[in-house]
Amino acid sequence: MKKLLTGLLAAFALATAQAEEIKFGAMPLGSIWYVFAASFSKHITPALPPGSKLDIIARGGGISNPIIVNEKKADVALANVVTSVWAMDGEADIYKGKKYTEIRSLLGGLNEIFLVGMLSEDYIKRTGNDSLEKALTSKNPPRVIMKPAGSTVPPSVRLLFEGLGLTFDKYKAAGGQIIQIAVGQIPSMMRDGRADLYFESASPGHPATVEASTTVAVRFLDLPEKSLAHMAKNGLKVVSMPVHFKGQHGPVKAVDFGTNLIVHKDMPEITAYAITRAVIENRDTIVADNKAMQNFVANEAWKPENNGIPLHPGAIRYYKEKGWFK
């Protein structure tokens, strides 16, 4: 009875509240986060006060989305758990010591996002370097390709390099190349033989990873043990990625960035509550539209390890009503 009454009061409060215009930070068109945002919006918009609108921001990424939420340029955004933590802490190399402390999480564990390395079979055949450590520290270093700044990939690869005693500058001085380019162009550069090693933040069905691995002979390789140890010390979760792509001969050692949904701490509690409730209670429909979220467990969305940063009070209120949050 108490839960029913609480729900009715929340519904009444939303129905009588002023209409809102919500800006939803995602990534560019064609990205998996844009698809996620579009799917969420179908359920979030009806849960807001009558007349409310939700606009998806078709830019951004794991590094920049915590900033735009902190600066109130977006009301809600998808983010990586690890970059949310880095942003709050003011991680020196990425956030230059500036702490973005006004972000809060609504829910996490949406999907796993793995940092993976795909080495071309042509390069392996030419050099005999059949592991990432051999390749990156050899006298014939591969031409590395990845997304530009703003993505979680470059700083994570930098940590991978550091675990091997490398920096990007040292790598280039030893004859290596590091190409940073828009994700849509990467598969064609791999096909044309203009790059040898592709680092990506991949989840099942990730478009560029699927295209590269099905149109180019590549081999997914374990991240080096030395790199994994260094990355774990810097907030990345060491995991094993199951077989999701052509070119995988079995599970590979990787790291998981995690995905959460963040807002500004000043978001009204009732709005944060409504958004949280809309996503959690439509979990099955959302997952049916987004297979990459098939491991999203609704009653674990509140857990600290799935969020990295403090929860918004509106989210806590919802989880307490469900009896999950202790």
Indicate the fold that domain 2-111+258-322 takes in CATH: D-Maltodextrin-Binding Protein; domain 2 (3.40.190)
pLDDT for 1: 53
pLDDT for 207: 85
Specify the pairing of strand 197-202 against strand 143-146: parallel
User: With contact defined as beta carbons under 8 Å apart, do 278 and 43 qualify?
Assistant: yes
pLDDT for 60: 87
Domains 2-111+258-322 and 114-256 agree in fold: yes
pTM summary value: 0.79
pLDDT for 31: 81
pLDDT for 3: 52
pLDDT for 234: 86
pLDDT for 15: 54
pLDDT for 61: 87
User: With contact defined as beta carbons under 8 Å apart, do 261 and 78 qualify?
Assistant: yes
pLDDT for 292: 85
Domain ranges of the chain: 2-111+258-322, 114-256
Number of Cβ atoms within 10 Å of the Cβ of 213: 25
- Report d(CA 222, CA 240) in Å as an integer: 9
- Report d(CA 177, CA 193) in Å as an integer: 13
pLDDT for 235: 82
Element (H, E) at 276: helix 269-281
pLDDT per residue, tens digit, the chain (326 aa), is 555 555 555 555 555 568 899 999 998 887 889 999 999 999 999 999 999 999 999 988 889 999 999 999 999 999 999 999 999 999 877 899 999 999 999 999 999 899 999 999 999 999 999 999 999 999 999 999 999 887 889 999 999 999 999 999 999 999 999 999 998 899 999 999 999 999 999 888 888 999 999 999 999 999 999 999 999 988 888 999 999 999 999 999 999 999 999 999 999 999 999 999 999 999 999 999 988 899 899 999 999 989 999 999 999 999 999 999 87
Architecture of domain 114-256: 3-Layer(aba) Sandwich (3.40)
Residue 125's contacts (CB-CB under 8 Å, 6 or more residues apart) are none
pLDDT for 100: 98
